[in-house]
């Protein structure tokens, strides 16, 4: 995907129905943790709470042109993505990962050719009990993200669209 700025994408596509992820009411903001500062693609959705089993499974599949969007319930108690799973994502061609929750191994994440946005970081890993739903519509940050929608992220924010913008 070519370089882009979400501000310009929004301005250039003013005639399209584009959702903008808002900071949550409790002051949680998405931050960039990956080596790729702007990333986008077709959303693959997963909803899981403090269990990254499905995240690990999905990021070990072909991710060309895709972004994994994870609704972790905004948990700040454990990370749903770390360096080893992120390295798998790079190996399988994923453009990025957006986590409504935490990540870990942040120094290693910044070295990877992968976009990563999350609410925060914590050294605690999650459990793996095989719990989580894939291919579901996610709701956070004032938007609904359907599996197969298009997401674009950079340091300005995150956009969601039913149609490709690039």
Q: Residue 17 sits in a domain of what CATH number?
A: 3.50.30.40
Q: Which domain holds residue 60?
A: 6-161
122 is in an annotated binding site: no
- The answer to whether 114 and 125 have CB atoms below 8 angstroms apart is no
Beta bridge partners of 151: 41, 160
Per-residue pLDDT at 25 exceeds 80:
no
Q: Is residue 89 in a domain?
A: yes
The torsion defined by the Cα of 161, 162, 164 and 165, in degrees rounded to 10, comes to: -30
Phi, psi at 30, each rounded to 5°: -75, 140
131 is in an annotated binding site: no
Q: What value does the mean pLDDT of the chain take? A: 96
Q: Is residue 1 in a domain?
A: no
101-121 residue pLDDT tens: 999 999 999 999 999 999 999
pLDDT of residue 100: 97
Q: Looking at 15-24, 95-104, 106-115, 129-138, which range is the least confident one?
A: 15-24
85 is in an annotated binding site: yes
This prediction has a pTM of 0.97
Q: Residue 137, Cα to own-chain centre: how many angstroms?
A: 14
Q: Is residue 122 in a domain?
A: yes
76 is in an annotated binding site: no
Mean pLDDT of all residues in 88-93: 99
| CA angle at 92 for the pair 146 and 116, rounded to the nearest 5° | 60
12 is in an annotated binding site: no
Domain count, the chain: 1
Q: Is residue 97 in a domain?
A: yes
- The answer to whether 10 and 155 have CB atoms below 8 angstroms apart is no
Percent of the chain whose pLDDT exceeds 90:
94
104 is in an annotated binding site: yes
């Amino acid at each position: 995907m070519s370089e882009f700025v979400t501000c310009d994408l929004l301005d250039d596509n003013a005639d399209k129905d584009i959702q903008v992820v808002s900071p949550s009411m409790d002051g949680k903001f998405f931050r960039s943790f990956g080596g790729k500062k702007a990333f986008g693609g077709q959303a693959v959705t997963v909803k899981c709470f403090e269990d990254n089993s499905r995240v690990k499974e999905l990021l070990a599949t072909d991710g060309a042109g895709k972004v994994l969007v994870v609704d972790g319930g905004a948990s700040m108690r454990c990370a749903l993505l770390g360096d080893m799973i992120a390295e798998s994502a790079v190996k399988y061609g994923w453009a990025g990962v957006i986590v409504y929750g935490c990540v870990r191994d942040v120094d290693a994440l910044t070295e990877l050719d992968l976009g990563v946005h999350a609410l925060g970081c914590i050294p605690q890993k999650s459990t793996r009990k095989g719990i989580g739903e894939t291919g579901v519509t996610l709701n956070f940050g004032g938007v609904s993200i359907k599996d197969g929608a298009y997401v674009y992220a950079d340091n300005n924010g995150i956009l969601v669209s039913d149609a490709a913008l690039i």
